[in-house]
Amino acid sequence: MVTNLLISSRPFAALFAAGAALAMAATAVAAEKIPITRLADLPTHVYSLPDKPSVMVMDPAAVRALAEEIEADIRSDLDKYDIRDVTAVRRLHGTLLTIALLKRDDEAARELISVVRGMQEKPAAKLTSGRIAEAILAARAAPAAEYEPTLRASLESALAALPWDVVQDELQSTKGYLEFISEGLVVGGLETAIDPAAADGELSQQLADNILGAAYTLTEILPHRDALQSAFAAVVDTHAVARKPDIWAERSVTLTAEDATSPVTIAVWDSGVDLAIETLGRLVWTNEGETAGNGLDDDGNGLVDDVHGIGWTLHSDYSPELLFPVRSVVEDPERFKQYMKGLQDLQANIDSPEAADLRQKMSSLPKEEFQPFVEGLGAYSNYAHGTHVAGIAVAGNPAARLMPVRITFDHRILGDKPTIAQTYKDAYSAVRTVDYLVEQGARVVNMSWGGSLASVEAALEQHGVGDTPEARKALARRMWDITYQALFEALRDAPGVLFVIAAGNSDNDVKFDEVYPSSFQLPNVIVVGAVDQAGDEASFTSFGNVDVYASGFEVESYVPGGERIAFSGTSMAAPNVTNLAGKLWALHPELSVAEVKRLIVEGADEKQVGERRIRLVNPKKSLELAGAG
């Protein structure tokens, strides 16, 4: 099961306009174009490389030759296909913009920036898109000696003119990115994640785009990082105390022991929960039919020592351990906790000791240290994720009975080779988990994770599986269908349980890109997108099948050990909705799944976002509706 946790990395592509452009205008499509309704139906283009990606990225001639091949294929696809997804076309135009900048085709780059900006849907993205690219073009037009002063002045002027209340999240996170990006990070990433896929001298467009993005960063961003960072700092620091208003406190509801409540079992299907944290431990669900620690299956359900929940290892073997054993892969998890906090602080423009430490670490990271550092950060993220989600899901609800269900996510950049046998094993563990949730009376289950068809295909390519691109695509589809169908049918056949699912952090249409489980449409599923503290749509949040949006930006909760840290992502938005469902059932245990879902959706406040309307969850209103009913 190729899955990932949904903590956001707060993408910066809108500002760089390299690899994240917009869709085509809503013009009439020629009748002869072939309609494309799924990402996987686009053709797979493959390119021969003269050397390993991490080596050829340093060769301008090799990069240009690759760029011209990719450009020809993209333009051919745009001419031939009616791609019915704004995000997919946006990605293609983003690559064209990167290519134009690399080729120094400034006229084409200006046109593409205009196209990109005009077609953005999210307000902040529409305002920030392409600003760095425009500054680069302005600097290129100046005398060589004036390049950096012009770059900084042009960018600072453009950013200062933007409405701070709309763009602050994007500007702060990009400032943080510029403070730590380095050649070691860029080249180390190619060496670790992309070189293995090109072992036979070929690479698909999906992965080859990474070479172009890396070349852009190495040639246009890093040599002038100080000037770019100074422009962002000048604007961001001016507004250091001007924070968006927080709309969530007035919407929240806290239950107390005095409220007439009934116990409600809330399952967190995630990377595990630290039940040694007193606030979480005292709310833990207990299987009364099982005796702790005796190594026996006392209740005869086939699962040993499932006293407070169940777990599955990376290879989907059953385990009674409810928390990822981080020390088996990271010698000093406390160190990586500080790095994780530093990353969040950098992106939030918080000048903390942890941010300074991470800035120093990453900005000077040799490429040889890229893999252990990134994998260590990934291991800690896996370790902390489920506990953080659980803290949000049960906050303010003394009637909650927290059931951890641990799924193990791979922290490695290059994981195991995907196989059909492992796919079936993963599918079984998912089905058995859902059966367990039903057997033990879970009312609501939080699922802040997901996987895509494209990620399966990429994993196969990284391991050199498939004699041809077509064979690899067919195998990826077979694996995907096994996992998708097993999970979909398991959720469908558990109508008495409400599954709350995070939408994803890829700013994409989850139906077109075929992402599970956030593309599921079932009566007992709620898909949740992320907004910030003011209720503005987060730049990273995916869409296409979202029922409601909730706070997913700098949400504070527990990490193992009991410290509280703020994380961002749809992973944090989903448990806010799980929390509301738990409170509805705590106060009104007679409600059905359909009624709870209706109360959550109908109680949400509608908000206009460009030409779309979204629903912001409102716990107070939903609970009032339940009481009135």
The answer to whether position 246 is within a domain reads no
Q: Could you give phi then psi for residue 130, rounded to 5 degrees? A: 80, 10
53 touches 195 (CB < 8 A): yes
User: What is the per-residue pLDDT for 223?
Assistant: 97
The answer to whether position 130 is within a domain reads yes
Neighbouring C-beta atoms of residue 428, cutoff 10 Å: 13
Contacts of 157 (CB under 8 A, 6+ apart): none
User: What is the per-residue pLDDT for 345?
Assistant: 87
Instruction: Kindly report, residue by residue over 157-190, the tens digit of the pLDDT.
Output: 999 999 999 999 999 999 999 999 999 999 999 9
Q: How confident is the model at residue 7 (pLDDT cuts 50, 70, 90)?
A: low
Task: Using the predicted structure, report yes or no on whether residue 11 has a pLDDT greater than 50.
Answer: no
- Whether residue 90 is found in the same domain as residue 126: yes
- Whether residue 222 is found in the same domain as residue 303: no
Give 286-322 as a DSSP string.
--TT--TTSSS-TTSSS-TT-SS-EEE-TT--EE---
8 touches 573 (CB < 8 A): no
Task: Using the predicted structure, report yes or no on whether residue 38 has a pLDDT greater than 50.
Answer: yes
Which structure tokens are listed for 396? 């303010």
Mean pLDDT of 14-31: 34
Question: Could you give the 3-state DSSP secondary structure of residue 4?
Answer: strand
Largest CA distance in the chain: 79
**What is the overall mean pLDDT for the chain?**
92
Contacts of 393 (CB under 8 A, 6+ apart): 266, 268, 400, 402, 446, 575, 578, 579, 582
Q: How confident is the model at residue 517 (pLDDT cuts 50, 70, 90)?
A: very high
The answer to whether position 250 is within a domain reads no
Least confident span in 112-121, 309-318, 395-404, 513-522: 112-121
Mean pLDDT of 235-251: 87
Mean pLDDT of 354-370: 91
Mean pLDDT of 470-484: 96
- Whether residue 182 is found in the same domain as residue 280: no
The answer to whether position 404 is within a domain reads yes
Question: Could you give the 3-state DSSP secondary structure of residue 189?
Answer: helix
Instruction: Kindly report, residue by residue over 486-514, the tens digit of the pLDDT.
Output: 999 999 999 999 999 999 999 999 999 99
- Whether residue 160 is found in the same domain as residue 302: no
Q: Could you give phi then psi for residue 270, rounded to 5 degrees? A: -160, -155
Decide: residue 450, CB within 10 A, 0-12 exposed, 13-18 middle, 19+ buried.
buried
- Whether residue 200 is found in the same domain as residue 307: no
- Is the previous residue joined to 517 through a cis bond, with omega within 30 degrees of 0? yes
Task: Using the predicted structure, report yes or no on whether residue 26 has a pLDDT greater than 80.
Answer: no
Give the CATH number of the domain where residue 569 resides: 3.40.50.200
- Whether residue 95 is found in the same domain as residue 18: yes
308 touches 403 (CB < 8 A): yes
The answer to whether position 378 is within a domain reads yes
- Whether residue 179 is found in the same domain as residue 296: no
Instruction: Kindly report, residue by residue over 559-617, the tens digit of the pLDDT.
Output: 999 999 999 999 999 999 999 999 999 999 999 999 999 999 999 999 998 788 999 99
- Whether residue 152 is found in the same domain as residue 225: yes
The answer to whether position 586 is within a domain reads yes
User: What is the per-residue pLDDT for 339?
Assistant: 92
> How far is C-alpha 34 from the chain's CA centre?
31
Q: How confident is the model at residue 418 (pLDDT cuts 50, 70, 90)?
A: very high
CA-to-CA distance for 106 and 122, rounded, in angstroms?
26
Instruction: Kindly report, residue by residue over 57-106, the tens digit of the pLDDT.
Output: 999 999 999 999 999 999 999 999 999 998 899 889 999 999 999 999 99
Report the domain count for the chain.
2
Q: How confident is the model at residue 31 (pLDDT cuts 50, 70, 90)?
A: low
- Whether residue 21 is found in the same domain as residue 148: yes
| Burial readout 611-629 (b: 16 or more C-beta within 10 A, e: otherwise) | eeebbbbbbebbbebbeee
- Whether residue 319 is found in the same domain as residue 283: yes
Q: How confident is the model at residue 629 (pLDDT cuts 50, 70, 90)?
A: low
Give 266-291 as a DSSP string.
EEEEESB--TTSHHHHTTB---TT--
User: What is the per-residue pLDDT for 242?
Assistant: 67
Neighbouring C-beta atoms of residue 233, cutoff 10 Å: 16
Question: Could you give the 3-state DSSP secondary structure of residue 44?
Answer: coil
Which structure tokens are listed for 27? 């013009």
User: What is the per-residue pLDDT for 16?
Assistant: 38
The answer to whether position 594 is within a domain reads yes
Neighbouring C-beta atoms of residue 588, cutoff 10 Å: 17
Domain end, chosen from 238, 272, 295, is at: 238
Mean pLDDT of 317-332: 93
The answer to whether position 384 is within a domain reads yes
Task: Using the predicted structure, report yes or no on whether residue 19 has a pLDDT greater than 50.
Answer: no
Q: What is the DSSP letter of 3?
A: -
pTM of the model: 0.93
CA-to-CA distance for 606 and 527, rounded, in angstroms?
16
Q: Which residues pair with 612 in a beta bridge?
A: 609
**Domain range holding 141?**
4-238
Instruction: Kindly report, residue by residue over 134-153, the tens digit of the pLDDT.
Output: 999 999 999 999 999 999 99
pLDDT-above-90 percentage for the chain: 86
List Cα–Cα distances, 107 to 66, 421, 558, in angstroms. Answer: 21, 52, 50
- Whether residue 199 is found in the same domain as residue 268: no
User: What is the per-residue pLDDT for 347?
Assistant: 82
Question: Could you give the 3-state DSSP secondary structure of residue 558?
Answer: strand
> How far is C-alpha 219 from the chain's CA centre?
27
- Whether residue 505 is found in the same domain as residue 567: yes
